[in-house]
Amino acid sequence: MAHIGGVAVATVLSIFGWLTLFLNAVTVALIAMLVRRTRPQFKLFVLFVSRVRQVAAVVTVAASLGSLYLSEIGNLTPCRWCWIQRTAMYPLALILVIALCFRDGHVRRYALPIAMLGMSASVWHYLLQRIPSLSDADACSLLTPCSVTYLDKFGFISIPWMAGSVFLFTVVLLAGFGSNENGVR
């Protein structure tokens, strides 16, 4: 893989893998809180929950910029399913940022369906990578097969896993913590 400014793209992918693992741990903790109906009262969590829309916007913008880095600077050619995930991630990030600018309290109506569609595409793409019999699907090209794995961190984190993690995190934030019914403004 290429070196960009003295940093190997493989190193950047590894950093993205670690960040994804952290995001996965936070997502699992948030889901556990939703299931158990508990909310810690320490200041950092209260601040986090009061800013779920901002956090979702930052994470989706970071994921969008990360995907652009990988293709435009890292020279990793996105496959067809990568592009489908991008068609969900980029507008999702834009919608969340615009909602912040205009203080749109109803952003969940627009963002959740996009995040869920993107998550579905990520799951399918991940399955294409992990189940060899699916990789012959007609949805991918010979030049950029959807089964190619540029990253395999910890034996399960790949680029579709990273995208799916961001989509799931966004769904959990907006559906579980981002409404007035849950005490968040």
39-51 pLDDT, tens per residue? 777 787 778 778 9
Mean pLDDT of 28-54: 85
Averaged pLDDT score across all residues of the chain: 87
**What pLDDT, on a 0 to 100 scale, did the predictor assign at position 137?**
59
Residue scoring higher pLDDT (159 or 6): 159
115-142 pLDDT, tens per residue? 999 999 999 999 999 987 877 656 677 6
Q: Answer yes or no: is pLDDT of 185 > 50.
A: no
Q: Answer yes or no: is pLDDT of 180 > 70.
A: no
Q: What percentage of the chain carries pLDDT values higher than 90?
A: 62
Residue 148 · residue 76 · CB < 8 Å: no
Other CB atoms within a 10 A radius of the CB of residue 51 amount to 16
Residue 53 · residue 169 · CB < 8 Å: no
Mean pLDDT of 150-171: 95
Positive or negative torsion for Cα 174, 170, 83, 3: positive
Q: How confident is the model at residue 177 (pLDDT cuts 50, 70, 90)?
A: confident
**What pLDDT, on a 0 to 100 scale, did the predictor assign at position 44?**
78
**What pLDDT, on a 0 to 100 scale, did the predictor assign at position 139?**
62
Of 66, 46, 69, residue with least CA distance to 58:
66
Other CB atoms within a 10 A radius of the CB of residue 181 amount to 6
Q: What percentage of the chain carries pLDDT values higher than 70?
A: 89
Domain boundary assignment for the chain = 3-182
**What pLDDT, on a 0 to 100 scale, did the predictor assign at position 5?**
54
**What pLDDT, on a 0 to 100 scale, did the predictor assign at position 50?**
82
